Amino acid sequence: MSTRDGDVGEQAGGVTDSGGPQSSDAGTSGAGSDGAPVAEGPRSGLRNPAGAVRGVGAGALALEALVLLLAIVPLTKISTHVTGAAIGSVLALAALCVVLAGMLRRRWAWHAATVLQVALFACGLFHVALAVLGVLFGAVWVYVLYVRRSITG
């Protein structure tokens, strides 16, 4: 085991022979084959980060569709002035949630789901409970978008 005396002192100080900082993982120092630094994206530790984020978004939209469908009966029982337009808009929004949950592979579907949250809040003109659901699921969707940005970059 022969080492040069200069190597030991330089490695102990955290500097390699080339004068650069010593890397903790051998072979993956963040430099390309030509020595230029390679930009690494955020590492989430997931095998398929885009698929995981789509799953979170689809789950949120599916849950929203379920809650909207379950809200129809209480809307009709609590309020006597609920119109057919309110029920129709709830049914349309629930159907749109299901469709968008399946289409989150496409970039525009994320924007359409954001518009859907605004539309649900606007349905508060029909009944205040719909506005409350719009605020609640809007907050959930903002969190999903935050998770999407932090994982996929």
**Residue 21 phi, psi dihedral angles, 5° rounding:** -65, 150
Task: Tell me the CA distances in angstroms from 141 to 98, 111, 130, 131, 132, one per residue in order.
Answer: 15, 11, 16, 15, 14
Look up residue 110 and give its amino acid. W
Please indicate, yes or no, if residue 103 is contained in any of the structural domains. Answer: yes
Please indicate, yes or no, if residue 6 is contained in any of the structural domains. Answer: no
Q: How far is CA 84 from the centre of its chain?
A: 34
Please indicate, yes or no, if residue 24 is contained in any of the structural domains. Answer: no
Please indicate, yes or no, if residue 123 is contained in any of the structural domains. Answer: yes
Please indicate, yes or no, if residue 26 is contained in any of the structural domains. Answer: no
Please indicate, yes or no, if residue 104 is contained in any of the structural domains. Answer: yes
Please indicate, yes or no, if residue 143 is contained in any of the structural domains. Answer: yes
Cβ atoms 93, 119 nearer than 8 A: yes
- Token pair listed for 139: 């907050």
The whole-number pLDDT of residue 15 equals 46
Q: What is the pLDDT along the chain (153 residues), one digit of tens a residue?
A: 555 554 444 444 444 444 444 444 444 445 556 666 555 655 667 788 889 999 999 999 999 999 999 999 988 888 777 788 889 999 999 999 999 999 999 999 999 999 999 999 999 999 999 999 999 999 999 999 999 999 988
Please indicate, yes or no, if residue 22 is contained in any of the structural domains. Answer: no
* Structural domain total, the chain: 1
Task: Note down the domain range covering 104.
Answer: 49-152
